Structure 1
Amino acid sequence: MIPRATYRLQFTPTFGFDDAAALAPYLAKLGVSHLYASPYLKARPGSTHGYDIVDHNALNEELGGADAFARMNAALKANGLGQILDFVPNHMGVGGADNPIWLDVLEWGQDSVHSGWFDIDWNPDRPDLKEAVLIPFLGEQYGAELEAGKLQLKYDAEAGSFAVWAYDAHKLPVSPLHYATILGAGSRRLERLGDEFSTLPNWRPGEHARAEELKRDLADETRRDPAFAKAIEAAVARFNGQAGDAASWSRLDALIRLQHWRPAHFRVAADDINYRRFFNIAELAGLRMEVPRVFDDSHRLVFSLLADGTIDGLRIDHIDGLLDPKGYLERLRARAPATPDNQPFYLVIEKILAEHEKLRTEWPVQGTTGYEVTNLLLGVMIDARNETAFSRIYANFSGETKGFNRILRECKKRIMDTEMAGELNGLARDIVRIAMQKPATADFTRNLLRRAIREIVANFPVYRTYLDFEGEPTWFDRFTVDQAITQARKSEGTIDPSVYEFLRAVLTGDLVAEPRSGYSRSAALRSAMKLQQYSGPVMAKGLEDTAFYRYNRFIALNEVGGHPQHFELPLDTFHKANAERAKLWPNSMLGTSTHDTKRGEDARARLAALSEIPDEWAVQLAAWGKLLQLEEQQGDPEAAPDRNDIYAILQTLVGTWPPELLDAPAAGSEAMKTYAERVKGAITKAMREAKVHSSWSAPNADYEEKTLSFIDNALTGALATDFLPAFLPFARRVAELGVQNSLVQTVLKLTLPGVPDIYQGTELWDLSMVDPDNRRPVDFSQRETMLGELAATDGNTMSSLLSDWRDGRIKLAVLVRLLKLRRDFAELFGGGEYIPVQIEGGKEAILGYRRRHGSTDILVAVARFPARRAANPLDIDCRIALPETKGGTWTDVLTGRTWDGRDISSADAFRHLPVAVLVRAE
């Protein structure tokens, strides 16, 4: 079943299946067709997001378990709602003691039946990691933590097993082959059992089963005989030394060196990690979904949910993380069971499309999760005429003059040099082995190839290309590789051109395109695919998690899938993108807020209004600067916070200031303190992500403390008395303009081709900041009450709701009416045409289009640029052309007003609201 509209819910230990069940009647009344659920398979204990899955075939008990899950599903069905699940195939949560598959790999190494599940390099350069996995979970260096007693050998009496525990949190299983080392010869029974464990290789291929038998024997003996239990306790004690006495831990150190894992300080991961991670997160280990058994085992539960109709579709998380995205999607379609209605299940992917990149039409999906639409809607609200003014204001205030593309390249290189250097080293090692297979390339050294790969990835214009095992690149992949290499040769011309040409051949598959190339075809293609798999996270970390926090010219543009270097989005581009979606991806998801967006949809809409008034913004900055005593920092490179960070802070305040605090709030009020804490949380993350003055791996406490004190002083402290009265009038003005943009954004999302998604709580104003702020608990009781009160609104009521905009009911009212419209005209919105509408006079301020299916016709018109229109109201000659018909009346579904004729005056159409959605009745 294709969704009509979805509602995203974030499941957490404090919001589980029963909570979602209780919301089912509300969601049905709101008008969506599907609950869009965050991951709810078994995750690490306490997970607040669900993406750290430890078992793909079990539900998360912390959300209520199977019984609560059944109650939720029953409530959804009873209210006519379907369900879409956010599924995570790329990685699993590791560390802790909760992932049995990972623990089995640590226990048995390459001999584990699960060793092929994870993308582990069992033969890296570091000698002590051959046939072992680096475990970079220590807070200090290994030797220091060992001496401090933070690593302890422990015996599990119930399981009859031994493990080293780090901080009593991370379980590192001891290989059964080394149990004899622990048990020793303290008694005949210990010696006998130890001998049995040491002879496990004789039981191959059944050594794992034999080990489990011996563990059970060990557990049984422990339960039966207290003396035996004491003997094991004493054996374990010999390995655990005294804190502060390094020599006393030598026995445990020797045991650890025998294992299939190596504990290390977390910073070691950057250079020596030998398993693929989700980005640079060591606690999320990459899965090899290209392996059939891994795929089959990971999809058993989700396939059963599709088969019995519990879920109607999937959102695939982080598709670019997979080695072969297209192959995965094709396998997903081919192996998924028949659904109850025998229709293909709904399938969308989380895919960030770079500028000028298109979703692959050969991929068997309905579309993406909508980041491109997020930025498309923002783009038509931003006044491109003022880009130069904002560039000048930013440079004058902050002193920053670097262009965004230069910053992005620098950030990507920093990521490759620090957080993801280990992966780069591995790629260079694998590709130099290929180069050595023929004399023509045998002299390409590893260091030379590493430098060239680094430069190419730094200049990659998209997240990744998609060469697969067939070895046939698309024209766009070939164009992308050529573009990256051309730029790399310009930025790093000291590398011999033949090295770049060799890498071009690797990345396009040309190296092995012909028989008898002299190179290993499988090795060359796999290396190219691994390089593609690497370029994606480098882009994500360099762009979204670094450059977006350094380049603060206009932070609304610093959004996932966004392009901060460009203000302009021509209306022709907007219309073309929507017409293309209507033709190719009519059921793609339309999103404006997600758990990953950098700021809430209404915060972006408010900042879009700011783009119209650069002169006022510049005046305010100068005034606020004096009140905040910024002149004292002028020219001081050591000042904290620096002026670039202050510029981001001030934009954040304008964009996210709560409506209830717009009227002279007391600086010391609880509401102000709560808001200040939220801002400080977001700015702390921004400082660490920017990696200029601080970072996650090495927080700069002094800089951070001074920056957070600056925020406190401005909002609740010594400077608030002067700053707030000066700030609030401007904040109110921008907020009121932003409301009009928010309504425009809402109407566009609900009427464009695609499936609109409402992120939890955003049916009212969404002025959230970056996560975890955007995952705060939602007051659903407030929303249910408001929905009940809006049951009988009319046009005049809509006007009054707009006047009293601060409570958000105007947004809810528009949303509800348009969701009902989508239900009433499901065929039109599911597959209708998209046709731009002609605007006569003043067309730049008005955007219009039609949705048509058969004889059904809907016309949508919205008024852009509220500040410009306030200064120069729409002229009566600015008219919206109605399509030529045999007659009939056009009715605005939002206000109930009606029109006849061939066109409508824009001033009349937008008399009550800056939006109009007209339906023609014969």
Structure 2
Amino acid sequence: MTPPRATYRFQFHKDFTFADAEALVPYLDDLGISHVYASPVTTAAPGSTHGYDVVDPTTINPELGGEAAFRSLVAALRARDMGIIIDIVPNHMGVAGDSNAWWQDVLMHGPDSAHAAVFDIDWRERVVLPVLGAPLSETLANGDLTLERDGARWTIVAYGEHRFPVRDADQDTADALPLAELLARQHYRLAYWRVANDELNWRRFFSINELAGVRIEDPAVFEKTHALYFRLHDEGLIDGVRVDHVDGLTDPIGYCRALRARLGDNAWIVIEKILAAGEPQPLGWGVDGTSGYDFMEQVASLLHDPAGAEPLGSLWEEISGRSASFEPEEFQARQDLLSWQFSGQLDACVAAFHAVAPEGITAAMLRRAIERLLWVFPVYRTYGPDAPASDAAIRAEARARVAELIPPGETHVVDLVLAWLAGDGPAETAEAVRRFQQLSAPIAAKAVEDTGFYRYGRLLSRNDVGFDAERMGITPGDFHALMEARARDVPHAMLTTATHDHKRGEDTRARLAAISAHPAAWRAAALAWLERDDGGVDDADRYMLFQTLVGAWPESGATADFVERVTAWQQKALREAKLRSSWEAPDEVYEAAAAALVEALPGDAEALALIARTVAMLDATAQDNALAQVLLRYTVPGVPDLYQGTEFADLSLVDPDNRRPVNYDARRVALAGDAPAKLRLIADLLRLRRDDPALFADGDYAPAQVDGPDAARLLAFERRHDGRVLRVAVALGGRRAGGDTRIVFASGHRTDAATLFGSEAIWYERG
């Protein structure tokens, strides 16, 4: 298998189609890209802006141009010796509205539907549909539910827009029955939306009611939902896949091996998997590695100065009154989310364990054991009897963490659960284990990334998908060890520093990372910000707002567009934190007060001056950081990805801000003329990769020896293959190493640091 040389991520939707991408193929070729990396191309919910709400996995989305336009894009790529990788979504399907024919058939025919096996539904009761704005009795009394004729069939309509099928047996009598009686006869139960967390009887994606879990472990479902992908690959139209949310599946390892068997050795397969601190790469899975969140964390950690941890932690504690450490925030968030959003799933998990537990172990005991393990579980999930050896260490760590939380006399219950997770139980325990594993993953994701990261503000550049917020930074030696392991274990995994899921753009993070190298100056600026009128907004929220303003501050300043973007971020941040507002019960008064702080910026000369001074103070280090992460992304072992538009400065915020339209005309003009430093560096490194693909695909990674007073913040290494070599050096944290700091590369090449670095803190050369 020849891996892609370099990918370029496109986010497809109705306003950016295959035809739009095809027009950009010459630009991508000129830049040096080898493969387009496409967001999901299958038919998604109408108007979807991301494609992960797939409603028909067997067809290519007509809103993107359909299969004909897809084939045309592929032909344009092939004509330039380029290819395409597609994102696939095996874990779930979109079920909102009536656009998913399979889901509608399940609602009409129940467990007898030809598609019933596709979805992960507990058929002991009717399918719960939490779509009503009030309890059913109230909704009926208000006349918000009606019976309408839709062609030849009767349909139940909610609020004039949501349509639900009437089962075949009731078609002749539908209009003769009271509506409440008709509803009681259906294969589904319309319910108040607030009952979803407690009463839902089908697996959803995280806490999203519009996305239903798919039983991909069923071989027939696997073939049915993947037929299009297999055909596209067999016809030579795609070169590989990126698998979305693999840890949501019942058996991720078995799925990946089955996917490899069907696609063959010539396909490039990477998986979206969040690796916790110390969690190893997915070896033996039949894949080429992950989609790169782990690298994003590794390079971001390197750019942060570990010495900033203590002063920035103390500042956060002083401002917020909360812990300087992330651990208490994560613990509380796990408890909150398990109780608030996943209680129904927890009930089902406990019931599954209780059904096969030995006599004397009650459901209440099992609940206490399971919930406490979920409060402290160190990774997204374990993998059972066919798991990597690292699973044993993960279970041991979970056991150690939970020890002080176990009620007296119930240690044996925790040990029983862990033993079953290890595969030591009888075959009947498989369903219980599945439910635990498919609960631990969303708890980790929602509690950490979508709750804790919005509550904890020591330094926001350490709060991103897959990041270890407890750790401020790593040393060059730590980074070398990680890259040597990458070269050994997953040399063709993806390398990314920006994605459709990131919380902050790569250059926003690079600027915020500079704070760790200048904590004293930052403290003065932050306290000056907090001395201003708070407008009734909590200091912790104002501090996180200040970080966001500084991190994302554009050259154009506080334009109306920027104010709108930050206001949208702030509302999302407040609701995700679930402390002073939430999606379920927004505190509009508090949100308005917070928004007013942003909306007042354009007319506040003092605030503008403070932000500008702070950005200027960080600028040199921020620019060094931005170029360093580009250099490392394109030179360490792996396949580098360029997220759409980030060849220019990426000062984006969380989605949907990171999915805004891209001005490609400006990028084409810049590439052909006077390109900014970031684009110029990307183009040059892509040229090197094109000139010598084997060096980058198969070369080793050899750390250099650095000695001298600046050694702690200087990284240098070589990539070597078949007598050819690339040397790389990076001065970290805005520092310029002096002549008394010596570098000895593995090939024997010697130099002093001052010789390498001029106006920029990065250096590289082909040897």
TM-score range, shorter chain: over 0.9
Does the Cα contact within 8 Å between 2:461 and 2:512 map onto a contact in 1? yes
Match of 1:676 in 2: 563
- Map residues 59-138 of structure 1 onto 2, 5 A cutoff: 59-123=60-124, 130=125, 132-138=126-132
Read off the aligned partner of 2:525 and give its amino acid letter.
Answer: Q
Match of 1:738 in 2: 622
Read off the aligned partner of 2:617 and give its amino acid letter.
Answer: R
Confirm or deny that 1:373 pairs with 2:259: no
Task: Pick from 652, 663, 687 the counterpart of residue 768 of structure 1.
Answer: 652
What CA distance in whole angstroms lies between the structure 1 residues aligned with 2:478 and 2:613? Answer: 36
Confirm or deny that 1:254 pairs with 2:181: yes
* 1:495 CA drift (Å): 5.9
* 1:400 CA drift (Å): 1.7
What CA distance in whole angstroms lies between the structure 2 residues aligned with 1:268 and 1:625? Answer: 40
* 1:735 CA drift (Å): 2.8
Does the Cα contact within 8 Å between 1:314 and 1:346 map onto a contact in 2? yes
Q: CA RMSD in A?
A: 1.6
Does the Cα contact within 8 Å between 2:706 and 2:744 map onto a contact in 1? yes
* 1:161 CA drift (Å): 1.7
Change (3 A) 1:93 1:783: same
Does the Cα contact within 8 Å between 1:459 and 1:485 map onto a contact in 2? no
Read off the aligned partner of 1:150 and give its amino acid letter.
Answer: D
- Map residues 654-803 of structure 1 onto 2, 5 A cutoff: 654-661=550-557, 672-713=559-600, 715-717=601-603, 720-790=604-674
Task: Pick from 692, 704, 717 the counterpart of residue 837 of structure 1.
Answer: 704
Change (3 A) 1:726 1:473: closer
Task: Pick from 153, 158, 161 the counterpart of residue 169 of structure 1.
Answer: 161
- Map residues 389-400 of structure 1 onto 2, 5 A cutoff: 389-400=311-322
Read off the aligned partner of 1:175 and give its amino acid letter.
Answer: R
Residues 108-164 of structure 1: CA distance to partner in whole angstroms, max 9, x if unpaired? 1111121111110111xxxxxx2x10001222222222222322212122xx22221
Residues 814-858 of structure 1: CA distance to partner in whole angstroms, max 9, x if unpaired? 000000101111111011110001223121232100000011011
Confirm or deny that 1:480 pairs with 2:389: no
Q: Secondary structure at the match of 1:116?
A: helix
Q: Which has the higher contact order (CA 8 A, sep 6+)?
A: 2
Match of 1:542 in 2: 447
Match of 1:458 in 2: 375
* 1:173 CA drift (Å): 1.0
Read off the aligned partner of 2:700 and give its amino acid letter.
Answer: E
Change (3 A) 1:361 1:474: closer
Change (3 A) 1:643 1:58: same
What CA distance in whole angstroms lies between the structure 2 residues aligned with 1:564 and 1:813? Answer: 32
What CA distance in whole angstroms lies between the structure 2 residues aligned with 1:274 and 1:549? Answer: 29
Task: Pick from 728, 745, 756 the counterpart of residue 909 of structure 1.
Answer: 756
What CA distance in whole angstroms lies between the structure 2 residues aligned with 1:40 and 1:640? Answer: 46
Confirm or deny that 1:150 pairs with 2:18: no
Change (3 A) 1:402 1:765: closer
Read off the aligned partner of 2:260 and give its amino acid letter.
Answer: R
Residues 625-676 of structure 1: CA distance to partner in whole angstroms, max 9, x if unpaired? 23x224xxxxxxxx84211111110111111101232xxxxxxxxx612101
Does the Cα contact within 8 Å between 1:448 and 1:495 map onto a contact in 2? no
Match of 1:501 in 2: 415
Match of 1:817 in 2: 684
- Map residues 216-255 of structure 1 onto 2, 5 A cutoff: 236=175, 251-255=178-182
* 1:883 CA drift (Å): 5.1
State the identity %.
40
Residues 699-750 of structure 1: CA distance to partner in whole angstroms, max 9, x if unpaired? 111111111112222x134xx1221122211212213321111011100110
What CA distance in whole angstroms lies between the structure 1 residues aligned with 2:372 and 2:460? Answer: 27
Deviates further, 481-490 or 360-369: 481-490
Read off the aligned partner of 2:764 and give its amino acid letter.
Answer: V
Contiguous gaps of at least 5 residues in structure 1: 124-129, 183-235, 240-250, 436-440, 513-520, 631-638, 662-670, 791-807, 886-901
What CA distance in whole angstroms lies between the structure 2 residues aligned with 1:84 and 1:178? Answer: 46
Change (3 A) 1:495 1:613: farther
Residues 184-237 of structure 1: CA distance to partner in whole angstroms, max 9, x if unpaired? xxxxxxxxxxxxxxxxxxxxxxxxxxxxxxxxxxxxxxxxxxxxxxxxxxxx4x
Change (3 A) 1:685 1:884: closer
* 1:473 CA drift (Å): 4.9
Match of 2:24 in 1: 23
What CA distance in whole angstroms lies between the structure 2 residues aligned with 1:640 and 1:834? Answer: 53
Q: Secondary structure at the match of 1:545?
A: helix
Deviates further, 74-83 or 56-65: 74-83
Residues 595-621 of structure 1: CA distance to partner in whole angstroms, max 9, x if unpaired? 111100011111111111111111112
Confirm or deny that 1:852 pairs with 2:738: no
Match of 2:742 in 1: 879
Read off the aligned partner of 2:189 and give its amino acid letter.
Answer: R
What CA distance in whole angstroms lies between the structure 1 residues aligned with 2:80 and 2:725? Answer: 29
* 1:445 CA drift (Å): 2.0
What CA distance in whole angstroms lies between the structure 2 residues aligned with 1:884 and 1:488? Answer: 48
Change (3 A) 1:453 1:766: same
Residues 78-97 of structure 1: CA distance to partner in whole angstroms, max 9, x if unpaired? 23220000000000000211
Deviates further, 32-41 or 873-882: 873-882
Read off the aligned partner of 2:545 and give its amino acid letter.
Answer: I
4+ residue segments displaced more than 3 Å: 471-475, 882-885
- Map residues 55-454 of structure 1 onto 2, 5 A cutoff: 55-123=56-124, 130=125, 132-157=126-151, 160-182=152-174, 236=175, 251-336=178-263, 343-401=265-323, 403-435=325-357, 441-454=358-371
Match of 2:516 in 1: 611
TM-score, scaled relative to structure 1? 0.81
* 1:561 CA drift (Å): 0.9
What CA distance in whole angstroms lies between the structure 1 residues aligned with 2:519 and 2:564? Answer: 29
Read off the aligned partner of 1:398 and give its amino acid letter.
Answer: S
What CA distance in whole angstroms lies between the structure 1 residues aligned with 2:29 and 2:93? Answer: 34
Does the Cα contact within 8 Å between 2:718 and 2:745 map onto a contact in 1? no
What CA distance in whole angstroms lies between the structure 2 residues aligned with 1:739 and 1:162? Answer: 63
Q: Secondary structure at the match of 2:615?
A: helix
Residues 890-909 of structure 1: CA distance to partner in whole angstroms, max 9, x if unpaired? xxxxxxxxxxxx53332221
Deviates further, 831-840 or 163-172: 163-172
Does the Cα contact within 8 Å between 2:313 and 2:325 map onto a contact in 1? no
Match of 2:533 in 1: 629
Does the Cα contact within 8 Å between 1:463 and 1:539 map onto a contact in 2? yes
Does the Cα contact within 8 Å between 1:466 and 1:529 map onto a contact in 2? no
* 1:878 CA drift (Å): 1.8
Contiguous gaps of at least 5 residues in structure 2: none
Change (3 A) 1:859 1:472: closer
Confirm or deny that 1:567 pairs with 2:414: no
What CA distance in whole angstroms lies between the structure 2 residues aligned with 1:823 and 1:116? Answer: 47
* 1:493 CA drift (Å): 2.8
Q: Secondary structure at the match of 2:425?
A: helix
What CA distance in whole angstroms lies between the structure 2 residues aligned with 1:569 and 1:384? Answer: 6
Q: Secondary structure at the match of 1:329?
A: helix
Does the Cα contact within 8 Å between 1:578 and 1:834 map onto a contact in 2? yes
Q: Secondary structure at the match of 1:14?
A: coil
Q: Secondary structure at the match of 2:556?
A: helix
Task: Pick from 371, 396, 405 the counterpart of residue 491 of structure 1.
Answer: 405
Residues 412-433 of structure 1: CA distance to partner in whole angstroms, max 9, x if unpaired? 1111111111000011111111
What CA distance in whole angstroms lies between the structure 2 residues aligned with 1:167 and 1:179? Answer: 21
Residues 350-381 of structure 1: CA distance to partner in whole angstroms, max 9, x if unpaired? 00000110023111000101111101111111
Q: Secondary structure at the match of 1:770?
A: coil
Read off the aligned partner of 1:828 and give its amino acid letter.
Answer: L
What CA distance in whole angstroms lies between the structure 2 residues aligned with 1:406 and 1:687? Answer: 19
Read off the aligned partner of 1:758 and give its amino acid letter.
Answer: L
Change (3 A) 1:884 1:546: closer
What CA distance in whole angstroms lies between the structure 2 residues aligned with 1:552 and 1:495? Answer: 39
The count of aligned residue pairs is 765
